[in-house]
Amino acid sequence: MHDDAVMQAWLDGDLADDAHAQLQTHLRDPARARAFLRALHLDLALRSAARARQRREEIDPVAATTTRSHRRRTTALRLRRRLPARSTSRTLAVVALVALAATGAVLVMRARPVVAGHLVVDAGSVQVAGSALRAGGACELSAGTTVITPPDSWATLLLVDGSRIEICGGSRLTLVAGGGRDATRLLLTRGEVRADIRRQPIGRSLMIATTRTDTTVLGTRLTVFGGERERVEVDEGRVRVERQADRSAVDVAAGESIDVPVSGVLLVTRSTPTAPSGPAEEAPLSSGLRLWLCADRGIVPDAQGRVAQWRDQSGNAMDLNQANPSAQPRQVVNAFGRHAAVSFDAADDGMYCRSAWPEFRSYTVAVLLRPTAYRQWGQGIGCGWGRFDFHGDEAGALYTGVGHESASSVARFTPAELPARTLQLHTWQWFVVSYDHGSGCAEIHCDGVRIAGKSMPRPLPWRDFQIGRSDAPATQPNSFAADLHELLVYDRALTPGERAGLDQRFRTRLGRAP
């Protein structure tokens, strides 16, 4: 018998005894159970309406004089009323079965995992729920998912509210609760996470738990260390740190940190400032700005001054990372005036960005740096030939521009245009390299003076931007032997007036007369 026929037969009281098993089988399916429940509700409503009309006719015979359409409806109701009555026990049993099936359907729907965050692997190979995810890979995370980052890896967790959790190498992080109306809860079993938490709505919070401590965050920037030594460092805002064993709790504010012992008093200490607080110059020209690195901003060095991440200030999240401590550059406070710099060791230091660049054909790259050594392929910045590259040689000459693998002199600037000592050791300089796809012309300016110009081919789309050491062939050991203060990338060629504005910006930074 067809599903609908079985249901209707039961409603009409005509279902044979041997067909009841078939009905019960149908009701185990959530969709069929919901359909049967709707039909049952309609049947009960019709019966109730029929009884009410019968009583009204018995009390007031005049009300029985109706229009033809009302007579037809009354006839239909009376036909329904004359259906055989079902036993109360059987009705209750089926209603209970329907309710159970409907509840099961709801539970099935609720069991579907809800996306709580988006994970991007910045470096190495990361274990996500037991599966490997390599650099450049991404996946959605739901509550209950565990992320394991080996020592040479790095990953970024973007929560649905826009908060960013940087999972450092050697960490194990579980997304215990995914948010919604409840608090988002992260469990850090070991390692280190650096979090930039959006302000949470009233009544909600984000909690980062370790094996010993619960840190409640309403919206701030902080670093949490889990494992044998548990520590919380706050860069902005305020958090609540609570020891699980005895529920001792303290508030930790911006610039403060706390080491959480197994027992004893919780002592908050004022962190030693590692970055200058000084002059907050205006942001650079924003039109077309794709990347903005400034050594005064977006850096939280460790106790040795090593920089694992340099955050992009343009708002495009083109952050640079380095998970390997031995390859991390160092922040130098007060490198000139009250400004900082990031100092790269030419031997092995390097940082890279695996985020996807938007496609653009014209560009302007401006960099303020201080060369510290001459070496082939030194001062290396860019995405490689065919896109954009910038590096020096053993005599301080400079190569830059679009270029390609054959490295013809037409495709880039070479020492023929940018000779020895264009790069000056231990001297702060700024270079502005631009390419206009419309005219096919590239130009390079140094300290505000145009030093070369030529036609070049159209560049390929950018990818894998980096500063310093890369996985280049042994014959081309890229490095960055310099201190770097600021780097700007635009997706267009700046006008002469806009470039003059950059020159003035750098002069002001260096305290030079216009």
State the fold for domain 289-510: Jelly Rolls (2.60.120)
Residue 19 in tokens: 């067909």
What pLDDT is recorded for position 86?
Answer: 46
What Rg, from alpha-carbon coordinates, does the chain have? 35
66 confidence band (pLDDT: 50, 70, 90): very low
Which of 346-350, 366-370, 447-451, 469-473 is predicted with the least confidence, judged by mean pLDDT? 469-473
Averaged confidence pLDDT in the chain: 79
Residue pair 251/232 in contact (Cβ under 8 Å)? The answer is no
**Mind listing the pLDDT tens digit for each residue in 67-112?**
444 444 433 334 343 434 444 444 445 544 554 554 454 444 444 5
13 confidence band (pLDDT: 50, 70, 90): low
CA dist 10 and 413 (Å) reads 87
Please name every residue paired with 88 in a beta bridge, in sequence order, or none if there are none.
none
- The class that CATH gives domain 115-270 is mainly beta
Q: What is the distance of C-alpha 79 from the center of its chain? A: 64
Residue pair 256/239 in contact (Cβ under 8 Å)? The answer is no
What pLDDT is recorded for position 400?
Answer: 94
Sequence-ordered alpha helix ranges (H) in 421-495:
none
Helices H / strands E in the chain, number of each: 6, 32
CA dist 151 and 109 (Å) reads 39
What pLDDT is recorded for position 65?
Answer: 45
CA dist 422 and 27 (Å) reads 82
Residue pair 399/392 in contact (Cβ under 8 Å)? The answer is yes
Please name every residue paired with 155 in a beta bridge, in sequence order, or none if there are none.
121, 167
Residue pair 133/88 in contact (Cβ under 8 Å)? The answer is no
Q: Which one-letter amino acid corresponds to residue 159? A: L
Most confident of the ranges 142-146, 183-187, 466-470, 488-492: 488-492
Residue pair 345/329 in contact (Cβ under 8 Å)? The answer is yes
> How do the domains of the chain map onto residue ranges?
3-111, 115-270, 289-510
| Region 378-394 average pLDDT | 90
| Region 314-339 average pLDDT | 88
Residue 172 has pLDDT above 70, yes or no: yes
**Mind listing the pLDDT tens digit for each residue in 240-286?**
899 999 998 888 888 888 889 988 878 888 754 443 334 445 789 99
CA dist 442 and 430 (Å) reads 17
Please name every residue paired with 282 in a beta bridge, in sequence order, or none if there are none.
none
298 confidence band (pLDDT: 50, 70, 90): confident
Residue 470 has pLDDT above 80, yes or no: no
CA dist 495 and 443 (Å) reads 12
Which of 143-152, 196-205, 323-332, 338-347 is predicted with the least confidence, judged by mean pLDDT? 196-205
DSSP string over 252-304? EETTEEEEE-SSS---EEEPPP-S-----PPPPP-TTEEEEEETTSSB---TT
Cα–Cα nearest to 190, from 214, 172, 205: 172
Please name every residue paired with 309 in a beta bridge, in sequence order, or none if there are none.
321
Which of 149-153, 329-333, 389-393, 447-451 is predicted with the least confidence, judged by mean pLDDT? 149-153
Which of 45-54, 69-78, 342-351, 439-448 is predicted with the least confidence, judged by mean pLDDT? 69-78
**Hey, how many other C-beta atoms are within 10 angstroms of the C-beta on 253?**
13
What pTM was estimated for this model as a whole? 0.55
Residue 179 has pLDDT above 80, yes or no: no
Q: Give the CA distances from residue 509 to residues 79, 281, 432, 494, 512, in Å, rounded to whole numbers and listed in that order.
A: 93, 9, 16, 20, 8
- pLDDT exceeding 70 applies to what percent of the chain? 71
**Mind listing the pLDDT tens digit for each residue in 430-463?**
999 999 999 999 999 999 999 999 998 888 999 9
Torsion region of 494: left, alpha or beta (phi above 0 gives left; psi -120 to 50 gives alpha): beta
- pLDDT exceeding 90 applies to what percent of the chain? 31
Most confident of the ranges 99-108, 372-381, 420-429: 420-429
Q: Give the CA distances from residue 474 to residues 53, 299, 478, 479, in Å, rounded to whole numbers and listed in that order.
A: 95, 31, 9, 12
As a 3-state breakdown, the chain gives helix, strand, coil percent values, each rounded to 5, of 20, 35, 40
CA dist 231 and 240 (Å) reads 13
Q: What angle do CA 403, 490, 331 make, to 5 degrees?
A: 90
Write out 448-466 in H/E/C secondary structure: CEEEEEEECCCCCCCCCEE
| Region 474-492 average pLDDT | 84
Cα–Cα nearest to 118, from 159, 148, 154, 146: 159
Write out 364-397 in H/E/C secondary structure: EEEEEEEECCCCCCEEEEEEECCCEEEEECCCCC
Residue 1 has pLDDT above 70, yes or no: no
Largest CA distance in the chain: 115
What pLDDT is recorded for position 462?
Answer: 93
What pLDDT is recorded for position 442?
Answer: 93
Residue 116 in tokens: 């709580």
